[in-house]
Amino acid sequence: MSINNERDEKDYTGWIIFIAIIVCLVLWIGGMFLSHWYAKTYFTVANDDNPQALFGDSFGAVNALISAFAFAGVIVAIFIQRNELKLQRKDLGLQRNEFSTQNNTLKLQRFENTFFNMLSLQQQIVNDLSFTDISREQVIEDAPDPALGRIAKEVIVDKVVKGRELFFYSFVERTHYFKLADGSTQKAEGMRQYLYFNGLSSYDDSYTPTYFDHYFRHLYTIVKFVDNADFLSFEEKYKYTTMVRATLSRHELIWLYYNGISSVGKQKFKKLIERYSLLKNIREDLLSLSKENLDIITIKGFNQKWLWGNGYSGTDYDFWVTDDETDKEKYYISAFYNKQDIEKGKSKVREWRDFYTKYLQ
C-alpha cells in the first residue's frame, strides 16, 4: 500500500513539472508576440524605418515576465523538494518498522533457542535423578545343617530408583519413619502417608523433598524466564508454559502441588503456577489428605470415604483451593483451570464452600 502511494506521489510531481514547463513556454511565446503587438499598435517612434528596434525594446517586459516565472520555478522546486523529503521520511519510517520487525524476530529466535535449551536441560535433570534406598529384608533359606531345615535371615537390600520413577517412588512407596508423641516410631509408606500422619507443616522438615531441589529451582527458572519475556503477549507466554506443563508426569504434578503450597513455594512459585495453570492436568485423587484437613473431618465424625460418597476427591485439593485471589494460603482456582474454563472451576469451589459450611464448620 505504501509503495503504491509513493508511486502516485512521484507521478503527481512529474505532472506538475510538465504542466509548469508547458505554461511557461505558452506564456513566454504569447507574451513575446503580445508585447510586440502592443508596442507596435500603441507607441509611435521617430523612425518608422526601424521596426526591429521596437521589437527589441519589447523584450524589457518579457524579461520581467521571465523573472517572475523563474521565481515560480523556485516555488515548484521547493514543492518538489518537500515531496521528496516527505518520501524520505516515509522511507525512514518503513525502515524503522522493518528494523523493529527484524529486531522482534531476532528476540523471538533468541528466546526460543534459550527456552528449548532450558527445556532440554530440565529433561536431563529428570533423567539424572537417582536414589539408592537401603532396606533390610528377611529371606528364608536352607540352613547349613540340613537337620535345622529352613531358617530366616536378614539381608540388606539396595534399591536404585532413577529418573521419573523417583517421583512416584518417593511419594507412594519409600518408607518414612517419624516419632510419635509417646516416643515410639511410626512408619509411613511414601510422602503421601507421611503428610497424612504429620501434615503439610512437616513437609519442609522432611528430607525427601530435597531430592528435587535442583529440579524445582530449574523448573521455576524456566517459567520465570517466559514470564519475563515482555515482548510476548500473555497468550504467547501461556503457549510456552503449556509446553512446559506437557513435559510433567502425573507424580511430577503431585510434587509440584506440594512444593508450590509449601512455605518456600508460596514466596515465588505459587503465583506463577496460578498464572499459567501449571496444575491443570493434576489427578486430584492422587494427592494426600494431610493431617490438618483430616482433623477437620474426624472432629465432625466423618472420614475420607464420606467425602468420596459426596462427590469430592477426599484429598487436600478440596481444602486448599479458593476463588479468592488474595488468599495466600490456598491455591487460586486458576492454578487448575485456564481462562476458558475458570468459571466452571469457580462454580465447583462455591459448591465445596457451601458443603464445607454446612457440614464441617
Q: Is residue 179 part of a domain?
A: yes
Indicate whether 187 and 286 sit together in one domain. Answer: yes
Query: Among 141, 160, 179, where does a domain finish?
Result: 160
Residue 289 lies in a domain: yes
Q: Are residues 242 and 331 in the same domain?
A: yes
Q: Which domain holds residue 141?
A: 133-160
Domain assignment present for 115: no
Cell of 21: 514547463
Q: Check residue 276 and give its pLDDT.
A: 98
- Looking at the structure, do residues 293 and 173 belong to the same domain, yes or no? yes
What pLDDT digit, counting tens, does each position of 181-240 carry?
A: 777 888 999 999 999 999 998 998 899 999 999 999 999 999 999 999 999 999 999 999
- Residues 215 and 331 occupy one common structural domain: yes
pTM of the complete model: 0.72
> Is 170 domain-assigned?
yes
Q: Are residues 59 and 175 in the same domain?
A: no
Cell numbers placing 131: 536414589
Asked if pLDDT for residue 65 goes beyond 80, the answer is: no
Whether 284 shows a pLDDT value over 90: the answer reads: yes
The total number of structural domains in the chain stands at 3
Contacts of 76 (CB under 8 A, 6+ apart): 16, 17, 20
One domain, residues 154 and 73: no
On whether both 71 and 193 belong to a single domain, the answer is: no
Looking at the structure, do residues 199 and 337 belong to the same domain, yes or no? yes
pLDDT bucket at 2, cuts 50 / 70 / 90: very low
Is 112 a domain residue?
no
- 93 with 144, same domain: the answer is no
pLDDT of residue 77: 76
pLDDT of 80 reads 74
pLDDT tens for residues 88-134?
Answer: 778 777 777 776 777 888 989 999 999 999 999 999 999 999 998 87
Is 128 among the domain residues? no
Mean pLDDT of 318-340: 95
Residues 26 and 85 in one domain: yes
> Do residue 145 and residue 93 come from a single domain?
no
Please indicate, yes or no, if residue 116 is contained in any of the structural domains: no
Asked if 226 contacts 101 with a C-beta cutoff of 8 angstroms, the reply is: no
Kindly state whether residues 64 and 145 are assigned to the same domain: no
* Between residues 43 and 92, the one the model is more confident about: 92
Q: Are 289 and 262 in contact (CB under 8 A)?
A: no
> What angle separates helix 213-227 from helix 250-261, to the nearest 10 degrees?
80
- Whether residue 325 lies inside any domain: the answer is yes
- The β-bridge partners of 162 are 130
